[in-house]
Amino acid sequence: MDPTAALNILQNHARQKQAELAQTPSQTQAEQSNPTQQTIDMGAPTALPPAPPVVDAPDAAEPEDVDVSGLPAPELLARVRKLQQDRTATYKQYDEALVACAPGEGRQGDPAAYATVVAKVTVVFDRISKRANACEAALRSRGLSAAADAIRRLQEAEKEKLELTAARHLGAFRPDTDAATAHLERRSREVVASVNEALEDLACELDGEE
């Protein structure tokens, strides 16, 4: 599922919750003074979920349209590897936000807060993707099409990985079937393997290039 679609679903869910709360009738003064009409909950109090972690954009000070066309091949390879590290760090923050905001034992969850994190994560991943695309273009302009193709495969795999992650996260708010969950887990493992393979191919293609 596209992250934007997941964001829309979560925002709609949050609005529905707010509407339900607004329609819940409040106790009248008579009900408040009549013990027979009151319910005393002796269970554990419902704790509010902790605030979601801040999702930081990697190297935010660097302009998105930085020119990498003149960088030597080893530096382009190092740049792509650094972008993958940024992706890994962002996924970690993304998962931490899910833990903080999803329904759990003793709490209802906070889909609105999670939707805010999804919006931030989408921006960060888009920035990383644009920088990887610039590296691909730089290699392709030099006739290093095999190396550029490796980055293209990497980008396509990362796009699917993000969609799978968004779908998996959405399942925490809107439970899915066991079969669908198993499919997401299996496909996610396959996509991670594709990402690693593309990185290895890129390194091999640029071996010895200057």
Q: From CA 29, how far away is CA 33, in angstroms rounded?
A: 6
Q: Supply 192's token pair.
A: 């991670």
Residue tagged 């919750």 (tokens): 17
| The pair of three-digit structure tokens given for residue 78, joined into one six-digit string | 């190092």
**pTM, full prediction:** 0.72
Q: 130-179: per-residue pLDDT in tens?
A: 999 999 999 999 999 999 999 999 999 999 999 999 999 888 888 778 88
Residue whose tokens read 């972008």: 83
Bridge-partner residues for 107, per DSSP?
A: 104
Low-confidence residues of the chain: pLDDT under 70: 1-65
Cβ pair 177, 161 in contact under 8 A: no
